[in-house]
Amino acid sequence: MYLRGSKWDLRKKRSRSRPWRILLLLILIVGVVYVWQIYIPTVPPLFIPTLTPTRSPASFVLEAESLFQAGKLSQAEESFLQAIAVNPRETTYYIELARIRVFAGNYADAETAARDALVIDPNSALAHAVLAWSVDFQAGQEQDPARKSELLATAMEEIEQAVKINPSSALVHAYYAEILIDNNITDYVRALEEAQRALELDPNLLEAHRALGYVWELTGNRQQALEAYQAAMLINPNLPRLHIDIGNMQRALGNSEGARDSYLNAVALAPTSTEPLSLLVQLYAGIGEFGRASQYAKNAVDLDPTDARLRGNLGRMYYHNNALEEAIVQLELAIRGGPTEDGVWVEGFPLNPADDRVIEFYYTYGLALAKMGRCEEAVPIFEALLRGVPENEVAIYNAQEGLILCGQLERTPTPEIEETPTP
């Protein structure tokens, strides 16, 4: 029994169902789970730099090979350096870097790359071979006979080691051919055999054709050398080294226009190199065009104002073009050294009996001074030549002519030949 209308009714009232609240709650739960499990892990932490994807070394290598084929050697070198930065333990990268540096004329840097390869793999035939090749090129530039012999011996030791490790490598045989003939010109038969062996192993190897051309060149077979260099250029027409080699052979064969075009091609491909410019100087000086020779010599000096040899060459050209004051300035820098007008320091050359070009700088400098009436400066130069290079007939002749010009020596009268009366 219970009381009606009482607020103390003890029967529990049933609440009405609200499904939208349940749905909203489920949505909130799903949202929290998504944010916590999926979104938050993908957000980079604050104040930490975003990582960029790393290029594979293979992509740098492909890029370097394409640049090398296009003759862009400095860019190709940079691409191989980037490949090395990604994978510094890959021997092949250092070998290819050394090879490119040789073609670019950076022989000491090529040696460094080759030695780095040998640190990683002491038994790499190609590393020994490209090391030998780079050292051989350095020997070709060396003026000191003792140092030159030392470098050639090192090159021979390294290439023989390469042959021992891998006697089937075409590249090894190509380098061996060049080093053999540089060490001993009388060993040309074996050098020729090595170059031909390289071609047999790989007829499409650029260095094999170049090696054959080099052996022909040093043995005086200029036409065969030209053809071999041209065959190498068909494989890669954009290497300055090959244009220089071809230009040298064209010049030796008397084709001055062909030589000029080849050297200018090398200048276009290697605009920061002084070598093709110096060859243009020799070319134009050889045909008596000293004005044009002077311009190319000046271009070379502008590229490397600290090089005393380039200064001396410019002075020689000025002298032959009768620009004596300008000749004296350049030749004095080449011989005595000192600062230039632009504040660049030049280290002068001492008189070296083994360096005919430096000897020429000395007597040309003396003659220029003498012709300008500066005999008090010229006479010591001539006397130094008489004492220092008594075996050099050209230098002695010019020194004596200079002393005669300065009144320090009398010309020996030429004996008159008595005519025999005709019977």
d(CA 175, CA 194): 9
> Domains in the chain, start-ordered, CATH in brackets?
55-163 (1.25.40.10), 168-269 (1.25.40.10), 274-348 (1.25.40.10), 350-409 (no CATH)
Contact in structure between 409 and 385 (CB atoms under 8 Å) = no
Residue 384's Cβ-count burial label (10 Å; 0-12, 13-18, 19+) is middle
Contact in structure between 206 and 236 (CB atoms under 8 Å) = yes
382-407 pLDDT tens trace: 999 999 999 999 999 999 999 999 99
Structure tokens at 23: 């749905």
Q: Is residue 44 pLDDT above 60, yes or no?
A: no
Angle of helix 170-183 versus helix 206-218 axis, rounded to 10 = 20
| Average pLDDT, rounded, for the chain | 89
Q: DSSP alpha helices (H): ranges in 15-167?
A: 19-34, 40-42, 57-69, 73-86, 91-103, 107-120, 125-141, 145-165
Structure tokens at 283: 């070319």
Angle of helix 275-286 versus helix 290-303 axis, rounded to 10 = 170
Task: Quickly tell me which residue has 């040093």 as its tokens.
Answer: 218
d(CA 331, CA 329): 6
d(CA 74, CA 104): 8
Handedness of CA 103, 106, 111, 117 (dihedral sign): negative
- At 51, the pLDDT band (50, 70, 90 cuts) reads very low
Contact in structure between 212 and 230 (CB atoms under 8 Å) = no
Q: Are strands 345-346 and 338-339 parallel, antiparallel or unpaired?
A: antiparallel
> Which residues, 6 or more positions from 317, have their beta carbon under 8 angstroms from its beta carbon?
281, 285, 290, 293, 294, 297
pTM: 0.82
**What is the average pLDDT across 96-120?**
97
Percent of the chain clearing pLDDT 70 (strictly above): 85
174-186 pLDDT tens trace: 999 999 999 999 9
Handedness of CA 326, 332, 337, 339 (dihedral sign): negative
Question: Any bridge partners for residue 339, and if so which?
Answer: 345
